[in-house]
């Protein structure tokens, strides 16, 4: 079982490793970006303007100016090791102006030059707010060009518009993360868990998959706090969250919904999966408990098969009752 990927069971729509086009969001107006890229091409009297995103998978055209002479459209992906102009920008994090590429041997293997026939390129790096490169904002021409200082200012001004949108997106992500994450264990809080669970139930309805819900509660947690102090109590909570993380799949959802209460929504593919998950949890918990040299403690777990017609609150109630029935006192 692989370590759980925070991106999948948290609300994390954006990261420098994901294509922005695959994660459309109301906050970003792609129409506005389209107008900005069209304007860039128009002001430069260039046949092609682009906003290009870079990820380890390569370069993706996020926006392409809408002109007949432009051979690339939004969504086009170029291999990460292709000798394209944008790659140089991402590597150096510097602007690049090539007036006449065919006379520069370093561009001989650039498909934009030898396949598409582009001659001139001007591009600037676009950054995420954390200073990681998002990609490039650029214009290309089939003719040799001689842009003056005004053009450099212009492309940088237009780029600022795009970067301020990326900033807004990042701030939104941060606020959403704060609102949905338990700061101690860094797993979902009740709000985050409920919202993600609703999504997963909708998906299960469509895909006709089965889900189950675990309700876990640490036994005598008050006594741990009273006898060993709150710092140890906090460590116990973190270890329980880590053991849960280690026992589930990427697409499962875990959360801390109260002081010492946890929930896990899991996909059930085969009969008996729930017992295997619980076994993995118990094993991982005991290992982590030993490593962290924590006082011995146990966790009671209740399980309910999810009836997708029921409300989440009712399903939680059933799992809670199952947990209480097993509670070690
Ligand atoms: N260290 C620590 N303790 C917490 C936190 N949040 C809640 N608690 C404590 O968790 C304890 C929960 O106590 P109870 O609800 O009585 O649960 P319990 O002692 O595990 O009893 P049973 O569930 O019946 O086994 C309370 O003493 C809370 O003060 C936290 O973030 N950190």
Domains contained in the chain, CATH given: 6-179 (3.30.450.40), 190-326 (3.30.70.270)
Which stretch of 26-30, 109-113, 216-220 has the lowest confidence by average pLDDT? 26-30
Which structure tokens are listed for 287? Answer: 């290992």
Predicted pLDDT of residue 12: 56
Closest CA to 94 of 104, 103, 86: 86
Q: Are 244 and 229 in contact (CB under 8 A)?
A: no
pLDDT exceeds cutoff 80 at 216: yes
pLDDT exceeds cutoff 60 at 2: no
Distance of CA 321 from the midpoint of ligand 1 (Å)? 18
Q: Are 85 and 71 in contact (CB under 8 A)?
A: no
Q: 148, exposed or middle or buried, with CB in 10 Å at 0-12, 13-18, 19+? A: exposed
pLDDT exceeds cutoff 70 at 3: no
Binning pLDDT at 50, 70 and 90, where does residue 6 land? very low
Predicted pLDDT of residue 10: 57
pLDDT above 90 covers what percent of the chain?
Answer: 79
Q: Pick the residue with more confidence: 279 or 23? A: 279
Q: Pick the residue with more confidence: 8 or 139? A: 139
Mean of per-residue pLDDT scores for the chain = 92
pLDDT exceeds cutoff 90 at 309: no
Q: Pick the residue with more confidence: 284 or 129? A: 284
Predicted pLDDT of residue 287: 96
61-94 pLDDT, tens digit per residue, is 999 999 999 999 999 999 999 999 999 999 999 9
Ligand 1 neighbourhood includes 320 CB (under 6 angstroms):
no
Q: Pick the residue with more confidence: 129 or 285? A: 285
Q: What gap in Å lies between CA 82 and CA 112, rounded to an integer?
A: 10
Q: What gap in Å lies between CA 185 and CA 187, rounded to an integer?
A: 5
Ligand 1 neighbourhood includes 215 CB (under 6 angstroms):
no
Ligand 1 neighbourhood includes 95 CB (under 6 angstroms):
no
Supply the DSSP symbol for 256. Answer: E
pLDDT exceeds cutoff 50 at 1: no
Ligand 1 neighbourhood includes 221 CB (under 6 angstroms):
yes
Predicted pLDDT of residue 206: 87
Q: What is the mean pLDDT of residues 163-191?
A: 92
Binning pLDDT at 50, 70 and 90, where does residue 30 land? confident
Ligand 1 neighbourhood includes 326 CB (under 6 angstroms):
no
Distance of CA 100 from the midpoint of ligand 1 (Å)? 70
End-to-end CA distance of the chain: 32
Closest CA to 238 of 249, 250, 223, 224: 224
Predicted pLDDT of residue 14: 66
């Amino acid at each position: 079982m692989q370590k759980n990927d925070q991106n999948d069971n948290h609300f994390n729509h954006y990261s420098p490793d994901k294509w922005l086009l695959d994660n459309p969001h109301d906050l970003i107006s792609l129409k506005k970006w389209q107008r900005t890229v069209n304007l860039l091409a128009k002001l430069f009297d260039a046949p092609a303007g682009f906003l290009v995103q870079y990820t380890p998978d390569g370069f993706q055209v996020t926006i392409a100016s809408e002109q007949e002479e432009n051979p690339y459209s939004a969504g086009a992906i170029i291999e990460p090791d292709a000798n394209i102009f944008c790659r140089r920008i991402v590597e150096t994090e510097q602007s690049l102006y090539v007036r006449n590429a065919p006379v520069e041997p370093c561009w001989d293997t650039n498909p934009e030059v030898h396949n598409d026939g582009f001659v001139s390129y001007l591009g600037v790096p676009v950054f995420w707010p954390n200073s990681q490169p998002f990609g490039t904002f650029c214009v290309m021409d089939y003719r040799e060009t001689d842009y003056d200082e005004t053009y450099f200012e212009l492309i940088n001004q237009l780029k600022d518009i795009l970067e301020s949108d990326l900033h807004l997106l990042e701030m939104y992500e941060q606020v959403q993360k704060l609102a949905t994450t338990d700061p101690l264990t860094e797993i979902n809080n009740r709000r985050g868990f409920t919202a993600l669970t609703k999504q997963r139930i909708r998906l299960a309805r469509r895909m006709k998959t089965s889900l189950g819900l675990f309700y876990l509660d640490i036994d005598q947690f008050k006594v741990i706090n009273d006898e060993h102090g709150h710092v140890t109590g906090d460590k116990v909570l973190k270890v329980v969250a880590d053991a849960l993380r280690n026992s589930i799949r990427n697409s499962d959802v875990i959360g801390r919904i109260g002081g010492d209460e946890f929930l896990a929504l899991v996909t059930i593919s085969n009969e008996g999966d729930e017992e295997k998950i619980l076994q993995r949890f118990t094993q991982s918990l005991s290992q982590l408990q030993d490593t962290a040299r924590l006082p011995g403690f146990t966790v009671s777990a209740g399980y309910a098969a999810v009836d997708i017609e029921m409300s989440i609150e009712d399903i939680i109630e059933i799992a809670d009752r199952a947990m209480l029935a097993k509670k070690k006192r």
